Chain A
């Protein structure tokens, strides 16, 4: 036990004397939280739409009025009047405008005649986000134009009333759980993986191996130290990230206990996984090369930035065995929904079982000799 604590003491003294690891492990997740949180999840504003009106009838005027209303209120787009469709199409293609609306000749007459009137929308679908946003906006305008002036006595359309359980979750808040897990992963990767292999290469482990320390004491010492570093990174990012994103869950003591449990489970799982991968590695280049690959392989399929339900089957299979998925699910359940222990119990179970399991395998594989 004392020998294990000596290893922990050595690692922690080094850690606190050189705060670079702490700063580095929090830098990327914080930048990601601020930049991605602000860049994504917003709504389209001031897109430019070319309007080509070949009709100029009263119904076409109604369309123009609807466009003006959008421009004056939510400002999703503003309109630019074009004389011919060809120029408008060309300008969509070259990016001068984001879309073009074509009101064909005889549009008003066909509306009155109920003769399948149609308005054309030309979009640049190389930008899926912009085109789908404009399509949705246009569709809602068309739906509004389709509403009869005098309502039928019998309602023909079934309305869907949506009840949102939680206040509007901005993308930055949605990202926070992933950023907490990412900070812990980076801490484990640098503080556990890279430093461990660097120490091996420098001969520090040779120094340990000539002492009477047992295999278990050495593995536990290294992993307890790694877990403490990851826990500190996790707690720091949860607090700082919550304040930046405007989440108040951290002020609920019960939620704090649940968060601590999740952070402990996550750090155990990440450390176990990392140690298992590094237990037979000697080359200091290996963890550096693995850093980016593992980050992409584990972080992105975890639901941190995009819902797992939208993934193809093979990517979902990765998410099932990825500790990131359970960590992020748990953090979301507490930070965004304050879901209580029931919401995270299976995440905790997976994280602790995964962590203990990987550590046991790593201990078996650990060589007590060079």
Chain B
């Protein structure tokens, strides 16, 4: 299992000096006392690209985005946003970016339009332009008929759309979104994805978003950087990242009883490239030939007189990419183990 950026086409690490880059980050470090939250990360984002920072909570994604949006000072290294150094020309950077923070921060006592107007004024958007921009962003996020509604009357999804509108009201070139769909139900989440895709098409925005949802990164992003423990461990398009993981299929299998030798036996099956033991006696088997491995796996279990509790075959996902590069699940393992249901008293193991 690798924890370093792999060379080759799958990990296409653009240098920060790439010409025409909307965002260029070079060996950026953020240190709090002796703790290094971001450890020398470099990447660049092209104009019009949607770039995702993927990683679990505490990986350093928000710290990275906060440095790029001038919210926290950079300890060392350099970040250029729209060609301006975040440390040297923070006001120039602020003028060309829109930022959607993780929390919903629009004023609940104000109406949708009032919230947008106040932010437009903070960016010194002239009055006539302000009216035009407010109408345009309300239309873009489908909140035109809610313009006079108090924010506290909106649903979570609508409030998130308002936050996005607020970030766009001054017509920024580069858009930063920190976990834009956290806390939303699946329907609202998909609506936000569609909206962001439309915005990209209609406004030619460069977007950098952080997320810990694999599906979100997969569906939205042109390129993804996987961040873990303050390091950038992989970078590429979703397809490139998936191809970089040995094995094109994942067989997920659970046996009727635990055995120490299962992992070794699974690894011995031809075409199997990697076996990951998960909680609850589940094994994820990465293989270059899913159908053949499935047959051989069933035959192996039968020859040993064992039964399979569950069996599924799927294509490699970003989840597998993440596990491959970081050696762990995206969701916090500790949390997972804490909340694992205890066995029902008297139930068969």
Contacts and interface: CB of A to CB of B under 8 A. Distances in A.
Interface of A: 2-3, 5-7, 9-10, 13-14, 17-18, 202-204, 206-213, 369-370
Q: How large is the interface on B (under 10, 10 to 19, 20 to 34, 35 or more residues)?
A: 20 to 34
B193 interface: no
B101 A9 contact: no
A202 B124 CA distance: 24
Interface string B55-69: 000000000001001
A204 B102 CA distance: 11
Contacts, number: 69
Interface string B25-69: 000000000000000000000000000000000000000001001
Contacts of B95: 212
B112 to A, nearest CB: 13
Contacts of B114: 13
Contact of B119 (A13, A14, A202, A207): A207
Nearest to B102: A203
A211 B70 CA distance: 10
A206 B109 CA distance: 18
Contact of B110 (A13, A207, A209, A211): A13
A6 B121 contact: yes
B123 A212 contact: yes
Chain A interface main SS type: helix
B84 to A, nearest CB: 12
A3 B94 CA distance: 14
Given A203-B102, A203-B103, A207-B166, 20 more contacts: A2-B124, A6-B121, A6-B122, A7-B122, A9-B121, A10-B110, A13-B107, A14-B109, A14-B110, A204-B105, A206-B105, A207-B101, A207-B105, A207-B119, A209-B70, A211-B119, A211-B123, A212-B123, A369-B72, A369-B73
Contacts of B105: 202-204, 206-207
Contacts of A17: 109-110
Nearest to A17: B109
B101 A211 contact: no
Contacts of A206: 71, 101, 103, 105
B132 to A, nearest CB: 17
A2 B91 CA distance: 16
B118 interface: yes
B178 to A, nearest CB: 10
Contact of A10 (B66, B73, B118): B118
B101 A3 contact: no
A212 B91 contact: yes
Nearest to A9: B118
A14 B107 contact: yes
7 contacts: A3-B121, A5-B121, A203-B105, A206-B71, A209-B71, A211-B119, A369-B71
